[in-house]
Structure 1
Amino acid sequence: MQRLSAKPALSLAYFAYFGVLGIFVPYFGLFLDGRGFDSAQIGLLLALVTATRIVGPALWGTLADRTAEPLRIMRLGAAIAILAWFSSFIDAGFWPLLLGFAFFSFFWTAILPQLEVCTFHALNDDAGAYSKIRTFGSVGYIILVMLGGWLYQQFGSEFMPATATLFLLLLLVSLLNLPAMPVAPASLQRKMSFTELFSSKVLWLFMGAAFLLQMSFAPFYGFFTLYSRDLGYSGTVTGLFIGVAVLAEIVAFYYAGAILNRYRFRSLLALCYGLTVVRWLMVAFLAHSPLALALSMLLHAGSFAIAHSCAMQFIQQFFPKAQRGRGQAFYAGIIYGGGGALGAYIAGISWQNGVGASQTYVLAAVAAFFAMLLAISLPRQMPRAD
């Protein structure tokens, strides 16, 4: 099989990976609602599935660092995730679906952290080039979000299993076509002791801020489509709202390299988190206005795209090369797994089948506010690994 060159292959992998998320993230709540689950069950399922990301990334990251085989880890994860995804085709009640998605989520976590490591390795740690390749992920996401809104109107929430399966297969094909990217085994590279790593105040300030930010995103990821439906917006209009957010994300990712080079890390991160506070308050109190809701979606450029680029820069600078796989895994597990799980659980309790929608987004704004305070506490000059 002829291999693609590195940049096109990586771009396709990001396109397919986030294309799957473009179906899973916005429409999973609607899918579960269509299966007859209440908001507490939806919150619990989201929390337990997300919690698998706490263990998964650390396991896969350690395995990838020790074997220096991140491509093989990604391919294995994608193949087994596809098999687990087939459980979504069967309507057998809450617990079988929970088990199936727990397996899916666990093996899904093998992919993105190692994809990030391979991308930075192939690009010689060029953050600007990374942001441009990462843009293809946002393009895949927005295409599937827009398509999903139309499919939901045409076929209902059961459109999700088959549609996501197609992009899961595309992802596996793209990973099989990635060229070899040899990474020196961790044993041959400089390492920092875990005591040295985890005694760093800077690391805990950054991770604490990122954890709170991810908690704040839980109502958006888990319940926004239900919220939009309850406000009277159609599936197509809901897809357009999310599309506005992802378009803003695409533009922000494209220019992220220049933005990161121009502004101090601490100031930029605090600004992104502050914009997130404004965003959730707008969703809480102004979502009945299409214009206000669309404007809140534009803030996704800062609250996600630039904030994520800052996080990737932090990991590349703070962790030595030998431990970047584990750094990515730590970020994915603790932040996306732990923060997402706790946020989803709290949101599921607070949502109250839509009655508590506004208060849930206010709680999200409070979490983002404390994240901003932690970001402000970071030092002016960020430490760099040798």
Structure 2
Amino acid sequence: MLTLSIKPALSLAYFAYFGVLGIFVPYFGLFLDGRGYDSAQIGLLLALVTATRIVGPALWGTLADRTANPLRIMRIGALVAILAWFSSFIDAGYWPLLLGFALFSFFWTAILPQLEVCTFHALNDDAGAYSKIRTFGSVGYIILVMLGGALYQHWGSEFMPATATLFLVLLFISLLNLPAVPTLTSTTQRKMSFRELFSSKVLWLFMGAALLLQMSFAPYYGFFTLYSRDLGYSGTVTGLFIGVAVLAEIVAFYYAGRILGRYRFRTLLAWCYGLTALRWLIVAFYAHIPLVLGLSMLLHAGSFAIAHSCAMQFIQQFFPKAQRGRGQAFYAGIIYGGGGAIGAYVSGISWQNGSGASQTYVLAALAAGFAMVLALSLPRQMPRAA
């Protein structure tokens, strides 16, 4: 089998991973709606599936640290995720579908935290180089979002299972081609106990702000395509709206290294979270105006790309090198798993089959606003645990 050099292999892995999400995240709500489920059922399924991301990353991170073989963990996760994904091809009812997607999500969580650790390790913690490689993930995402919009227009929501399967297989192939990296654990650096790490007020302020931000994204991830459809936009136009957001994300990721080097961590986070609150208010009250909705999508550059780059830099600098795998797992589990599950459940209740769309995005804006307040409480300098 052909072995790629480290940067092309990492770029391909990000491209394939986020390509899968480009199908799953925007169109999953439409897929479930097409199977006949209401918004409360969709919200509950999203919440339960997302909740598997609370436990999964911690388990996989612990295994990766103990085995010192994150590549094997990622490959096993990708393989079982493919097998679990096949449940989406069969319409056997609500609970079998939930079980299949929960299994998929649990093993899916084995991949990204370890991929992030391997990437930073291979790049010697160069945030600028990381951002450029991470850009390939955004490219994969936007290609599948745009393709998904066109496929939905012609084939309906059942296009999702087969299309995502192709990129799941590509991801597995890219992980098989990923070169081995040196052992990620350190024998010379003292490992701090998690009691020491988690006694830090700074860590809890940061995690609280990030949790609220992720909660605020739940109606966008779970219901935006349904919202757009209800407002009269076609599947292709909806794909274009999401594409604008991801294009802004790509540009922001490319320049993230320079931006992080120029501005204070606390200032950047506060701006990102504040712009996110503004974005959800625009979506709540002005989404019926195509130009305004399209312009609001540009705020994704700060809402996601710069905010995510700040989070990765925080973890790389706060956690000792030997414990960054668990740090990434903790972040993925608590923030993406916990925040996503809470947000999805609340959004499912608040959405009320579309009649509560505006109030749901207002709640999202409030969550992002509180996240900005917590970000402003962080110290002026980037914190370090050791």
Distance 1:60 1:97 in 2: 24
SS in 2 for 1:199: coil
Judge conservation of contact 1:190–1:321 (CA < 8 Å) in 2. Answer: no
SS in 2 for 1:183: coil
TM-score, L = length of structure 2 = 0.99
Judge conservation of contact 1:272–1:307 (CA < 8 Å) in 2. Answer: yes
Judge conservation of contact 1:319–1:385 (CA < 8 Å) in 2. Answer: yes
Provide, for residues 104-130 of structure 1, a one-character-per-residue CA deviation record: whole Å limited to 9, x for no partner. Answer: 000000000000000000000000000
Judge conservation of contact 2:121–2:184 (CA < 8 Å) in 1. Answer: no
Asked whether 1:28 is paired with 2:28, we answer yes
Partner of 1:4: 4
Partner of 1:384: 384
Partner of 2:355: 355
Partner of 2:107: 107
Paired residues in the alignment total: 386
What letter is aligned with 2:319?
A: F
What letter is aligned with 2:369?
A: F
1:288-299 aligned at under 5 Å gives the runs 288-299=288-299
Distance 1:189 1:39 in 2: 50
Distance 1:19 1:186 in 2: 33
Partner of 1:221: 221
Structure 2, unaligned stretches of length 5 or more? none
The Cα shift of 1:182 comes to 1.8
Asked whether 1:98 is paired with 2:79, we answer no
Judge conservation of contact 1:67–1:185 (CA < 8 Å) in 2. Answer: no
1:217-296 aligned at under 5 Å gives the runs 217-296=217-296
Distance 1:172 1:2 in 2: 14
Structure 1, unaligned stretches of length 5 or more? none
Distance 2:140 2:43 in 1: 26
Distance 2:207 2:184 in 1: 27
Runs of 4+ with >4 A deviation: none
Distance 2:222 2:186 in 1: 37
TM-score, L = length of structure 1 = 0.99
1:1-386 aligned at under 5 Å gives the runs 1-185=1-185, 189-386=189-386
Distance 2:197 2:191 in 1: 10
Distance 2:239 2:73 in 1: 33
The Cα shift of 1:89 comes to 0.1
Distance 2:34 2:155 in 1: 12
Using the TM superposition, name which of 186-195 and 364-373 deviates more: 186-195
What letter is aligned with 1:378?
A: L
Judge conservation of contact 2:185–2:323 (CA < 8 Å) in 1. Answer: no
The Cα shift of 1:189 comes to 3.7
Distance 2:136 2:2 in 1: 22
Distance 1:357 1:299 in 2: 20
SS in 1 for 2:190: coil
The Cα shift of 1:228 comes to 0.0
Distance 2:183 2:21 in 1: 28
Distance 1:187 1:275 in 2: 43
How many percent identity over aligned positions?
A: 88
What letter is aligned with 1:55?
A: V
Distance 1:358 1:304 in 2: 21
Judge conservation of contact 2:15–2:140 (CA < 8 Å) in 1. Answer: yes
Provide, for residues 307-329 of structure 1, a one-character-per-residue CA deviation record: whole Å limited to 9, x for no partner. Answer: 00000000000000111000000
Judge conservation of contact 1:217–1:364 (CA < 8 Å) in 2. Answer: yes
Distance 1:187 1:280 in 2: 46
Provide, for residues 186-208 of structure 1, a one-character-per-residue CA deviation record: whole Å limited to 9, x for no partner. Answer: 56542111121000000000000
SS in 1 for 2:217: helix
Provide, for residues 69-92 of structure 1, a one-character-per-residue CA deviation record: whole Å limited to 9, x for no partner. Answer: 000000000000000000000001
The Cα shift of 1:384 comes to 2.0
Distance 1:186 1:99 in 2: 38
SS in 1 for 2:312: helix
SS in 2 for 1:272: helix
